[in-house]
């Protein structure tokens, strides 16, 4: 006759063993939502075929126009109506177009498949019309990158919501995504990049005007001597040092991780 087994202790009856708990968790855990095997993009940038280059070009033009309009609106808030009288507070792209920065450079990027920067005509601002020019011009300079970051964050969440709401089976590359997601993602990417790039303290970028507003007065004469060479320095950085890729790659990787991972 088999020996009777001892009754389980109250503690043992209330708390299952660790192995049993692990098995139960595996059995009851809800399956993870199906996503693509990997983020539908390359490591450092989206594939820049002709279609994607045109998307990039369109997003750039919209982003730089909104960037410039934001400068004019804040200047108007502080009492300077120069941009308004010049007809620059409009979504019509024609008054904002700079032939070189808005057409030639972006077209070069579209033809070569390389992401590039673009710019519109700077909005005219007259600090003499502002109530406190030094303080007010600081805010006018800040609002440009700030507007890009607001647009970028909004577009990033929109792209993520669109991606999470679709069936990702069969999505193996960026080109496989629906056109709407690629446009919204590209708009987020362009605005993040423009916001960061414009904070570089090199004339004529917004970062230079911000630096000028906070520099002690004893350094301003030297700054004024340096300022005319800012564009040459900027072109050297962009085309000879690879600064675009150094800034663009981490922005793209982090945004792709947020939207697609």
Instruction: Give pTM, 2 decimals.
Output: 0.80
Mapped onto helix, strand or coil, the DSSP state of residue 206 is helix
Mapped onto helix, strand or coil, the DSSP state of residue 16 is coil
Q: What is the pLDDT of residues 81-124, one digit of tens each?
A: 999 999 999 999 999 998 888 888 777 776 766 666 778 889 99
**Cα–Cα dist 135/19, whole Å:** 65
**Active-site option among 68, 132, 164, 217:** 68
More confident residue, 45 or 160: 160
pLDDT attached to residue 170: 79
Residues 235-240, mean pLDDT to the nearest whole number: 79
Annotated catalytic residue 132: no
**Cα–Cα dist 211/200, whole Å:** 10
**Cα–Cα dist 252/148, whole Å:** 15
């Amino acid at each position: 006759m088999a020996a009777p087994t001892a009754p389980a202790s109250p503690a043992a009856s209330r708390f299952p063993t660790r192995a049993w708990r692990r098995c139960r968790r595996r059995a009851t855990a809800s399956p993870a939502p199906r996503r693509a095997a990997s983020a539908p993009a390359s490591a450092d940038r989206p594939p820049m075929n002709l279609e994607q280059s045109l998307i990039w070009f369109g997003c750039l033009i919209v982003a730089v126009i909104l960037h410039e309009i934001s400068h004019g609106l804040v200047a108007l808030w502080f009492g300077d109506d120069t941009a308004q009288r010049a007809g620059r507070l409009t979504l019509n792209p024609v008054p904002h177009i700079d032939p070189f920065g808005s057409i030639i450079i972006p077209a070069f990027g579209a033809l070569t498949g390389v992401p590039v920067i673009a710019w519109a005509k700077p909005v005219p601002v007259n600090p003499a019309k502002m109530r406190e020019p030094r303080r007010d011009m600081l805010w006018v300079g800040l609002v440009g990158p700030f507007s890009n970051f607001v647009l970028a964050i909004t577009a990033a969440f929109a792209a993520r919501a669109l991606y999470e709401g679709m069936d990702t089976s069969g999505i193996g590359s960026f080109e496989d995504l629906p056109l709407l997601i690629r446009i919204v993602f590209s708009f987020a990417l362009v605005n993040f990049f423009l916001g960061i790039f414009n904070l570089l303290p090199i004339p004529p970028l917004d970062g230079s005007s911000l630096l000028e507003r906070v520099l002690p007065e004893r350094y301003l004469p030297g700054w004024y001597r340096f300022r005319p060479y800012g564009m040459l320095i900027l072109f050297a950085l962009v085309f000879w040092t690879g600064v675009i890729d150094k800034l663009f790659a981490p922005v793209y990787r982090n945004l792709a991780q947020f939207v697609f991972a």
